[in-house]
Chain A
Amino acid sequence: MEKAIVLAASAIGAGTAMIAGIGPGIGEGYAVGKACEAIGRQPESSGAVTRTMFIGCAIAESTGIYGFVVALLLMFVNPFIGKL
């Protein structure tokens, strides 16, 4: 019974942790939109703009990845089972 409660709570926690995906989604959307504007204004600098945008996107993505790693731990490692 206790095990079932812990597993259920871990599953809910994993799902809740993935709410972290909202932030990077919005942020990267803004970044890509601005990059498109920049390329539209100065098509000759598209290479540099795209490179910078990808790096920025990857860095903005880290918060989402942190949430994902937490969800992964809750689902596959089950750290709270050992605490029973």
Chain B
Amino acid sequence: MHFSDFFKGTTEINVTGPKIIASFEVFGITINFTESILLSWIIIAGVTLLLLWLTKDMKTKNISKRQVLAEWAVQTVYNLVDDTMGKGNRKFAPYIGALFTFSILGSLISLFGLRSVTADFSVVLSWALITFIWVHATKLRTNGLWGYLKGYASPVFVMLPMNVLSEVSLPVSMSIRHFGNIASGMIISGLVYYALTSITKAIGVAFMTIGIPAVLSLYFDLFSSFMQAFIFIMLTMVNVANAAEAD
């Protein structure tokens, strides 16, 4: 995109997946290095640098402002995990906090005009699969192999297909919910930009090009991103906490 294109507005509606930057052939399998992977690594690097700066030379007395910020962030995640999963599960807090940060920054990156990482279905599907594997590993650990298998045939054996279906629907519903919300925001914003550009071209004066996109962005980018990130971690925690209870 050239700088002059920036002021042209949106002149076409183009809904595609993330751009493929490079393709590798590894053992006959094509691996695509996409925009999402690049942006994910930029987010990871940025968060890592920020956290390294926040946690530099921590003290027990006369603490600095940035240490207060770091302690507040850690304490917030600890409190959330304690409330939702119970006191004994604090060891999961780092993963929950990392997932929340990654999810919200991956969605909010659209504020810089980049493509949201979470508007790529494979990204959210991989997070949902992590939750899925985690839930089933927890179930195996609490009930044992026999109890785990018996859980599929409860209350009667005829319910087996239903139980399998309900287990499979967990990652599908979690990933489609997150993807659908962010992608719908992206598409609706694109349509509105296109409509505003068309109106501006037709009447010759800039028509609402400053007001409407800001309000839409407030809902679709800020609110929706935060809600979806929060719901994703809440569902992960609730499902794992349920799996940890023996039937």
Residues of A whose CB lies within 8 Å of any CB of B are 54-55, 58-59, 61-62, 65-66, 68-69, 72, 76
Contacts and interface: CB of A to CB of B under 8 A. Distances in A.
B176 A76 contact: no
B187 A66 contact: no
Given A54-B227, A55-B234, A59-B231, A66 B15 contact: no
B15 A76 contact: yes
A68 B180 contact: yes
B183 interface: yes
A65 B182 CA distance: 10
A58 B231 contact: yes
B231 A65 contact: no
B122 to A, nearest CB: 14
Contacts of A54: 227, 230-231
A35 to B, nearest CB: 15
Contacts of B76: none
Contacts of B181: 61, 65
Given A55-B234, A72-B187, A76-B15, A65 B180 contact: yes
Contact of A69 (B16, B179, B230, B231): B179
A81 to B, nearest CB: 16
A59 B169 CA distance: 13
A65 B184 contact: yes
Contact of B176 (A55, A58, A59, A62): A62
Interface string B30-49: 00000000000000000000
B176 A72 contact: no
B64 interface: no
Nearest to B179: A69
A68 B183 CA distance: 10
Given A55-B231, A72-B187, 6 more contacts: A54-B231, A58-B177, A58-B231, A59-B231, A65-B177, A65-B180
Contacts of B15: 72, 76
21 contacts: A54-B227, A55-B230, A55-B231, A55-B234, A58-B177, A58-B227, A58-B231, A59-B235, A61-B181, A62-B176, A62-B177, A65-B177, A65-B181, A66-B176, A69-B179, A69-B180, A69-B183, A72-B183, A72-B184, A76-B15, A76-B16
Contacts of A65: 176-177, 180-181, 184
